[in-house]
Amino acid sequence: MHIKSGLLALVTLIFLTAALTLPVAAGLPLSIGESTQELPTLAPLLERVTPGVVNIAVRGHVAVQENPLLNDPFFRRFFGLPELAPQREFQAAGSGVVVDATEGYILTNNHVIENADEVTVALQDGRKLKAELVGRDPEADIAVIRIPAKDLTALRLGDSDRLRVGDFVIAVGNPFGLGQTVTSGLISALGRTGLGIEGYEDFIQTDASINPGNSGGALVNLRGELIGINTAIVGPSGGNVGIGFAIPINMARSIMTQLIEHGEVRRGQLGVSIQDLTPEIAKALGVPAGRGAVVSEVVKGSPAAKAGVEAGDVIVAVNGDKIRNASDLRNKIGLARVGEAVTLTVLRQGRKMTLVIKLAPRHRAKVHVEEIDPRIAGATLGPISRSSPLFGRVEGVEVLQAKPGSPAWSAGLRQGDVITSVNRKPVKTLNQFATQVRKAKGALLLNIRRGDAALFIVIQ
């Protein structure tokens, strides 16, 4: 989806990395009564909330962009260049929210910790602790990290489905790396989609001042409940102009639960192509104009096909929750787990009907390996392509890409390699590869086929 060109001429959507700021004042009015009268204040609320919001410092490496010819290892060897492409070190700052004080779980954005070699969490009491990655979901821009700490304060999770435009909210984070900062404002809009920021979008829009470094920080209501994770802004220069976006906590909570349990999000699929229900399409299909998602295609043999879904059906609710449009349906199905049964309310030729569908695993055409194990980040794997000389000769998964300078490249993986086993366990599919890597304790032993040669690669 794309934002209208007129909007793009005025503003630029950005993640909360560095830029200038334009202050926007918003909040509760102060009392101006007698000098002895106590003034309204958010201080008691913030004293409970701010210990649960942390500052995150990230250090990592990214490959320096070079001439594409230099990505070819044979070219580099021929001209006597170092085998590994040059890298540059980067540092970044963001925010996070403690959601489990006992286990030390912290919720943040994926883009805050992406490509990180080292993540340091600074607590309000001055402690600085190294964090480990629990799991991340690039499609929704959510990540969970963990710190081995005691005496933590966790924020109570609210219910983002009960939010209304006009509700007062407070943003807490680490803008520009200044340290913990609090701003206030209103909820300006709900259910913002089509911004092209994430794969799954259902943003809370707020005018509470959000700036670079607030990513992963808390958006709370006046009860001190966490109702969103601050994620992105609209601004011509990268600073706040009163348009910020937060991921609703109900969406973040669903993803967080799967990341903690599995290290990844196991999304199910219906097996349909969908589009928004426009007045013109509604009239042609003979259904009332309004909200909903139109099924334009049903994949043969998919869960939807088995349940009786047909092209032209209009899905108006999932598990009783009304559907606004195609993006809303995609979000609701994307948050459901593999094997979960969902109830669809469908309009077909003016008749309302109910269909129960058991979601199947999504077919993965390729996978970025950092989603599975950061030790081999930088590699993209997929089924063996027909263009591979090993197609039909061996079983395994092919390295579709290995970024120069990445951990995968440093470990010895190259484009075109076929991984046939992990720790001596044969792998024929991406799911089998992921399963064996996650089971491994300690080093990974990969059996590789490279052309007519076979070799082992050990990854510590």
**Domain annotation covers residue 224:** yes
Contact 317, 309 (CB under 8 A): no
Domain boundary among 341, 361, 381: 361
Q: Which of 160, 188, 209, 215 is catalytic?
A: 215
Q: What's the pLDDT score for residue 8? A: 36
Tell if the pTM clears 0.75, that is, is over it: no
Q: What's the pLDDT score for residue 120? A: 94
59 and 130 co-located in one domain: yes
Query: One digit per residue, pLDDT tens: the chain, 460 residues?
Result: 333 344 333 334 444 443 333 344 444 555 455 566 677 888 999 999 999 999 999 988 765 555 554 555 555 555 555 554 556 788 888 999 999 999 999 999 999 998 888 999 999 989 999 999 998 888 889 999 999 988 999 999 999 999 999 999 999 998 887 888 999 999 999 988 877 677 778 899 999 988 888 899 999 999 999 999 999 888 666 667 788 999 999 999 999 998 998 888 878 888 888 888 888 888 888 888 888 899 988 888 888 999 999 999 999 999 998 888 888 888 888 888 888 899 999 998 878 999 999 888 765 556 667 777 888 888 888 888 766 888 778 888 998 888 887 888 888 888 889 999 999 889 988 888 888 888 888 888 999 998 878 888 888 7
Domain boundary among 333, 361, 389: 361
327 and 451 co-located in one domain: no
Give me the CATH number covering residue 326.
2.30.42.10
5 and 92 co-located in one domain: yes
Give me the CATH number covering residue 55.
2.40.10.120
Nearest to 117 by CA among 98, 138, 103, 131: 131
179 and 138 co-located in one domain: yes
Query: Is residue 215 annotated as part of the catalytic site, yes or no?
Result: yes
Q: What's the pLDDT score for residue 381? A: 87
Contact 229, 217 (CB under 8 A): yes
Count CB neighbours of 244 within 10 A.
30
Q: Provide the residue type at 202 as one letter.
A: D
195 and 251 co-located in one domain: yes
Q: What's the pLDDT score for residue 339? A: 83
Secondary structure in 3-state letters for the chain = CCCCHHHHHHCCEEECCCCCCCCCCCCCCCCCCCCCCCCCCCHHHHHHHHHHEEEEEEEEEEECCCCHHHHCHHHHHHCCCCCCCCEEEEEEEEEEEEEECCCCEEEECHHHHCCEEEEEEECCCCCEEECEEEEEECCCCEEEEECCCCCCCCCCECCHHHCCCCCEEEEEECHHHCCCEEEEEEEEEEEECCCCCCCCCCEEEECCCCCCCCCCCEEECCCCCEEEEEEEEECCCCCCCCCEEEEEHHHHHHHHHHHHHHCCCCEEECCEEEEECCHHHHHHHCCCCCCCEEEEEECCCCHHHHHCCCCCCEEEEECCEECCCHHHHHHHHHCCECCCEEEEEEEECCEEEEEEEECEECCCCCEEHHHCCHHHCCEEEEECCCCCCCCCCCCCEEEEEECCCCHHHHHCCCCCCEEEEECCEECCCHHHHHHHHHHCCCCEEEEEEECCEEEEEEEC
Exposure string (b/e) for 110-119, b if CB count within 10 Å is 16 or more?
bbbbbbbeeb
Question: How far is the first Cα of the chain from the last one, in angstroms, to the nearest whole number?
Answer: 41
Place of tokens 């399409």: 281
Residue 236 sits at the vertex; the CA angle it makes with 235 and 237, to the nearest 5 degrees, is: 95
Nearest to 188 by CA among 173, 215, 210, 172: 210
Parallel, antiparallel, or unpaired for β 379-383 and 293-298? unpaired
Strand partners, 130: 120
Query: Is residue 141 annotated as part of the catalytic site, yes or no?
Result: yes
283 and 210 co-located in one domain: no
> Taking the mean position of all CA atoms in its chain, how far away is CA 441?
26
Distance CA 131, CA 103 (A): 12
Range of the domain at 392: 367-459
Q: Which of 95, 111, 328, 417 is catalytic?
A: 111
Domain count, the chain: 3
Q: What's the pLDDT score for residue 86? A: 58
**Domain annotation covers residue 41:** no
Query: Is residue 111 annotated as part of the catalytic site, yes or no?
Result: yes
341 and 439 co-located in one domain: no
Q: Which of 95, 137, 141, 254 is catalytic?
A: 141
Nearest to 56 by CA among 232, 256, 216: 216
Domain boundary among 326, 361, 396: 361
Radius of gyration of the chain (CA): 24
**Domain annotation covers residue 170:** yes
